[in-house]
Structure 1
């Protein structure tokens, strides 16, 4: 009996000495819920809103700028005065032309009287044909001089009118290239005018990107101050040659719609994208290499456990990886700590990443 009691006690001691292994700890992880991408982002570029039509205007006569009537940014109506020259030279030219005209008019009146007298004398038979011919020739010569003098007066008046620089259409003043007191030549660029009715987006694109743009590229234009204000655009013109220092080419885009907030000079950002076959893009930290084969860890939302899944990689960058298969929309993928996970391990999804 004592022997049986001792055996039983020994068995009890052996049983108590065998402890159950502790449960696997729940590991907190970062994760994301994946979504298939249906378009490829080709980049975002800064630009501004400009008028499609701009004109550089100047005076039609040389002279010294006496005054400027408007500043940059001013909206002007058709016929508005922009600037004026000192009119002294043009006024003197007009006075000289008017004096020449008065002299020639007197000569013409005298030539008319002489021609009439010679005609009367010839008709009465007391005047010679030679004298009549000379009088009529002098009259024609004087008539030509009179026409020339009148044209000179008209030209001098036009020159005087040209000392005022006026607009021939409604416009916005975008730049001044000359100041009051400066002497300018005829045709020299003085002020830049933009027609505000038709606007476009202007950006500079890398020369290498332009050669690779797909036909279905989409230009999304947004205001930098208020990104909620957006519209789309299409390419109207791309400069044929790249700028030598930046290796960029200027692109002018026709806006599908022109929001009111898109005023001339408004800073914008233009995002380029194109439609692609749906694909999955994940952070590079979500990828694990096992014996040269890529795989990811998928969280089971019911059991809160993880399991590995083999994937095929299309491309990768320093920060992300694009997968061809192995994951689908709605899967939750671990994005940090993948090298310390085990199949079936319970995890706690970080609240910040459980979106």
Structure 2
């Protein structure tokens, strides 16, 4: 009997204890975010005409400056031909005028040709040279217009939409394709009551069950938009590895929205009997007594205590 009491005393004396202290914790709100590109830009036709060749389709990756499509304007070919003919005629006239100027200069040097006739011949040469230069510039303008039929990718990224097909008639400025830039973000929509509690640089957690590939489990807020629409504030978060996701795909994320002071204790100090949670508290004379508690959130191996404990209480592991 004495040996049993002595062993019980030793076991009680070596029981593990825990001092209750409040802790500041961060509350997280679960929201669904969509994978979006920071910039979605349109590749537009610079001239009107017919789409003669379409080189991309939805989902294709492009680099800035790649030719997406070729728009052909059938009117530019005849215009170039007409300007070429005009330039050829002016060139022939200029050759004749230069020959006339050479003869007039020879006659003038021998004193049998008037100065006024020589000036007229020089003027005719100058006029034809300027007309020929103007025709060549006009041809360069039309050739440049034909080159503008090449629709170029405005940025590197992925093609999201191609609303035209080969043979479609397009007008100047009409969209040929929309391209999403390579920088992808998670776009969050939070209730407006959280607008003041989030800021740039705040961390977020991505739900592990939604991860695919090499997507990082955490990220941070890149930008908070200064506009509340339909009772929600929009923010963008950067997470590494979003390139393999579909644009518009929904992902569950946890965002820190508030902080509060509460009590957490190790779950080994909680004893559940008949559906009721108890903890043992050490009194002033080192005797222990049970107290009923109300548990809250579970974080790892710790349990939040909503009621039943106060700061400074000494818990004894049951």
Instruction: Report the TM-score range of the alignment, normalised by the length of the smaller protein.
Output: 0.5 to 0.7
Asked if 1:204 corresponds to 2:184, the answer is no
Of 248, 253, 256, 1:270 maps to: 253
> 1:146, 1:101 → 2: CA distance?
6
> 2:208, 2:88 → 1: CA distance?
65
Of 78, 85, 101, 1:92 maps to: 78
Q: Retained in 2: the 8 A contact 1:175–1:193?
A: yes
Cα deviation, residue 73, structure 1: 0.4
Deviations 1:310-346 (CA, angstroms, capped at 9, x unpaired): 99xxxxxxxx9956953799979xxxxxxxxxxxxxx
Q: Retained in 2: the 8 A contact 1:223–1:229?
A: no
Structure 2: gaps (5+ residues):
1-19, 266-275, 282-288, 296-303
Cα deviation, residue 75, structure 1: 1.5
Q: Retained in 1: the 8 A contact 2:215–2:241?
A: no
In the TM superposition, 1:230-241 aligns within 5 A as 230-241=216-227
User: Aligned pair in 2 of structure 1 residues 212, 260: CA closer, same or farther (>3 Å)?
Assistant: closer
User: Aligned pair in 2 of structure 1 residues 41, 106: CA closer, same or farther (>3 Å)?
Assistant: farther
Q: Retained in 1: the 8 A contact 2:200–2:222?
A: no
Other-structure match for 1:143: 129
User: Aligned pair in 2 of structure 1 residues 221, 148: CA closer, same or farther (>3 Å)?
Assistant: farther
User: Aligned pair in 2 of structure 1 residues 186, 216: CA closer, same or farther (>3 Å)?
Assistant: closer
User: Aligned pair in 2 of structure 1 residues 141, 216: CA closer, same or farther (>3 Å)?
Assistant: closer
Of 210, 213, 217, 2:202 maps to: 217
Asked if 1:161 corresponds to 2:142, the answer is no
User: Aligned pair in 2 of structure 1 residues 202, 277: CA closer, same or farther (>3 Å)?
Assistant: closer
Asked if 1:253 corresponds to 2:233, the answer is no
Q: Retained in 2: the 8 A contact 1:218–1:234?
A: yes
Q: TM-score, normalised by structure 2?
A: 0.68
User: Aligned pair in 2 of structure 1 residues 259, 70: CA closer, same or farther (>3 Å)?
Assistant: closer
Q: TM-score, normalised by structure 1?
A: 0.62
In the TM superposition, 1:179-198 aligns within 5 A as 179-196=165-182, 198=183
User: Aligned pair in 2 of structure 1 residues 58, 306: CA closer, same or farther (>3 Å)?
Assistant: same
Cα deviation, residue 132, structure 1: 2.0
In the TM superposition, 1:1-355 aligns within 5 A as 38-77=24-63, 80-167=66-153, 170-196=156-182, 198-213=183-198, 217-222=202-207, 225-226=210-211, 229-243=215-229, 246-255=230-239, 257-258=240-241, 261-262=244-245, 264-273=247-256, 276=259, 278-280=261-263, 298-300=278-280, 306-308=290-292, 322=306, 326=310
Q: Match of 2:45, SS?
A: coil
Query: Alignment length, in residue pairs?
Result: 273
Structure 1: gaps (5+ residues):
1-33, 283-295, 312-319, 333-355
Cα deviation, residue 229, structure 1: 4.3
Higher Rg of the two aligned structures: 1
Q: Match of 1:212, SS?
A: coil
> 2:171, 2:124 → 1: CA distance?
41
User: Aligned pair in 2 of structure 1 residues 75, 309: CA closer, same or farther (>3 Å)?
Assistant: closer
Q: Retained in 1: the 8 A contact 2:194–2:257?
A: no
Cα deviation, residue 72, structure 1: 0.8
Q: Match of 2:228, SS?
A: coil
Cα deviation, residue 262, structure 1: 4.9
Q: Retained in 1: the 8 A contact 2:49–2:170?
A: yes
